[in-house]
Amino acid sequence: MPLVAHSLLPSFDRLRQQGQEILTLDHAIHQDIRELHIGFLNMMPDSALTVTEQQFMRLVGSCNQIAQFYVHPFSIDGLSRSSQMRSYIDQYYEPFEKLKEEGLDALVLTGANVANPRLEAEPFWKPLQEIIHWAAENTTSILCSCLATHALLQQLYSINRQPLPGKKWGVYSHRVIQQQHPIMRDINTRFDVPHSRYNTVSRAQLEAGGLTILVESKDGGVHMVVSPDQFRLIFMQGHPEYDFNSLLKEYKREVLRFIEGEIDVYPPHPENYFPEEAAVIADEYQRIVQASRKAGTAIPPFPEATLERYVDNTWGDTGKAIFNNWLGLVYQLTAVDRKRAFAPGIDPENPLGLR
């Protein structure tokens, strides 16, 4: 079922232009269909805020449950923002206090850029604790992405992320470890997921904390984990929300940083992402950049449009299927009044009835 354009958030129009089905609020309120209200805590930096917003909204809107999906974006004070982006958030995002009063069925948490080696020194640390404390008691399930995963694992399970020798960056093949889990229902047993991170939490750390690993990669590491009750908290280290060209744009940013002298080493390709044709073009551009810098001549523009013709999305359908399964469970387990009150016969400590 479609997303409901319940506010003037520009992403509704952008998604509609991209082919996403979006209901007007007037149409929605005249349908006799149950609503699901999904909070979306967006902590991404200015350059990625609206793109990430649209990526996650697209995953929610692709769900085939018989429900209307209201996505409620909000953010945290204290994050570094331009005046333009602060105005955008003030105009289109909702205050957390309002969401607490009205209630949410589920919550999605994005990653964030960090400037400190210790997460507890970040400006989002204390506000995030307040949000999680409320959401744990008042929503059915919380889904965390990337940095939010690391922050909550530290806050709730004392699991500290570990720095990697180098950036984990690319598209990696994963396998489903717990095929019987409802979130993995009808999911391919092997599928790709993009990763982009400098830190990780290991299988040993997660298992010692009592969490259940759902999806793992030999090269990419653990991707999906659930809390001991199997559903309240869902953690992802990868990025199923990424567009086909998200890693390409990230690669371009790193190349431009090298050109501007912000980094000393030319960035490698994202692993397992460029096919042979794209790799040849990227390598030729690297040769031109390095030769031009040495000769002091002008550097031509980055060949983004040419490279886009060769890169693929090999993870999107699986990401949509996982979100569909997750929101289907939220739909089944959430009471109509959108409080964490389960139907008779459902054990709140094991809502999925897993043994």
Q: Is the same domain home to 282 and 321?
A: no
**Average pLDDT of adjacent 10-residue blocks, the chain of 355 residues:** 82 84 74 85 96 95 85 93 96 97 96 88 93 94 95 96 95 96 94 96 96 97 95 96 97 97 96 98 98 94 98 97 94 61 52 56
Residue 317: partners with Cβ closer than 8 Å, 6 or more residues away: none
Q: Is the same domain home to 175 and 256?
A: no
Q: Is the same domain home to 219 and 258?
A: no
- Domain of residue 90, CATH code: 3.40.50.880
Q: Is the same domain home to 232 and 254?
A: no
Instruction: Specify if 18 maps to a domain.
Output: yes
Q: Is the same domain home to 165 and 289?
A: no
Give the pLDDT of residue 343: 44
Buried b (16+ CB within 10 A) or exposed e, 210-224: ebbbbbbbeebbbbb
Instruction: Specify if 340 maps to a domain.
Output: no
- 240 closest CA partner among 65, 114, 110: 110
User: Could you tell me the pTM of the whole model?
Assistant: 0.88
Q: Give the catalytic positions in this structure.
A: 146, 239, 241
Q: Is the same domain home to 207 and 229?
A: yes
- Split into its structural domains, the chain has a count of 2
C-alpha 270/C-alpha 92 separation (Å) is 34
Q: Is the same domain home to 7 and 85?
A: yes
Phi, psi (rounded to 5 degrees) for 329: -70, -40
Residue 41: partners with Cβ closer than 8 Å, 6 or more residues away: 74, 75, 76, 107, 108, 109, 110, 128, 131, 148
- 186 closest CA partner among 320, 46, 294, 43: 320
Give the pLDDT of residue 338: 44
Give the pLDDT of residue 335: 55
Range of the domain at 279: 246-308
Q: Is the same domain home to 279 and 162?
A: no
